[in-house]
Amino acid sequence: MDIKQQIKDDILNNKLARGVPLRQVELSQRYGVSRIPIRDALLSLKAEGWLSPHGKAGVMVPALHWKEAEDLSLMRAELECLLLDMAFDRISEKELNEAKFISLQLDKEGLSLIERGELNWHFHQALYKVADRPTLQRVVEGLNQQAVRYLGFQYGPLGYRAESQHQHEELLSLIQKKNKYAAIKFLRQHIEDAGVLLTKYLKGMTDF
């Protein structure tokens, strides 16, 4: 796991305090590397929405908030359904088999939250990529990267992992049956249901 992934993993597992400025010197000592890869990792994580500005040039781990979780869910639902609509008629057995293989990887035990988040995106990406809309796909990938920050809740206290996997299988079944309308409708439900559950949970936490 590279430095960027290690920092992500520590954020997800609450090993880096939220709202506290991250010091390059301290991180360099923590991960046993020079300040250059730390600086590059922090810049990249800031661009992806994992870190927010602090002071003139610093960064910190931002607090999680139900409004952000809800916004990410709403944007993902709209744009991913659009991508699936564009891709649907081009999805072949090759893409379906790739998505099925990734789904099997998601069933493995011992995966980190970061690995699960990446695999979840790769599952969806396998279906969307044949739309051949790189700009839209980059935006959707960015939304998914930010949404990974909330996986600790979905796979932890919300226990949504098994349900998410079941829904992935149902989505693949609808695509294989060439039922475009039902597949797009189901994808929207898949994204929105998880978003509603997460938003409701976060609203109930006093720290949010």
β-partners of residue 21 are 60
Q: What percent of the chain stands above pLDDT 70?
A: 98
Instruction: Give yes or no for residue 200 having a pLDDT over 70.
Output: yes
- The architecture of the domain spanning 3-60 is Orthogonal Bundle (1.10)
Segment 130-150, tens digit of pLDDT: 999 999 999 999 999 889 888
Instruction: Compute the CA torsion angle 86, 192, 125, 89 (nearest 10 deg).
Output: -30
pLDDT at site 13: 83
**Contacts by 104-111, CB closer than 8 A, 24 or more apart:** 106/165, 106/168, 107/165
Q: What pTM was computed for the model?
A: 0.83
What's the CATH fold of domain 66-203?
Four Helix Bundle (Hemerythrin (Met), subunit A) (1.20.120)
Label residue 114 by pLDDT band (50, 70, 90).
confident
User: What confidence score (pLDDT) does residue 1 get?
Assistant: 67
What confidence tens digit (pLDDT) does each residue in 94-110 have?
999 999 999 999 989 88
Mean pLDDT, the chain, rounded, equals 91
Structure confidence at residue 181 as a pLDDT band (50, 70, 90):
very high
According to CATH, where is 1.20.120.530 located in the chain?
66-203
56, pLDDT greater than 80: no
- Residue ranges of the chain assigned to CATH 1.10.10.10: 3-60
Instruction: Output the pLDDT for position 38.
Output: 95
Task: Lowest mean pLDDT of 17-21, 29-33, 172-176, name the range.
Answer: 17-21
Q: Find where tokens 């997460």 sit.
A: 198
Residues whose CB falls within 8 Å of the CB of residue 175, separated by 6 or more in sequence, listed in order: 88, 91, 96, 127, 183
Interior/surface letters 26-45, b for 16+ CB within 10 angstroms, e for the rest: ebbebbeeeeeebeebbeeb
Query: Can you tell me the mean pLDDT for 70-78?
Result: 97
User: Is the model's pLDDT at 206 over the cut of 60?
Assistant: no
Q: Decide if pLDDT at 207 tops 60.
A: no
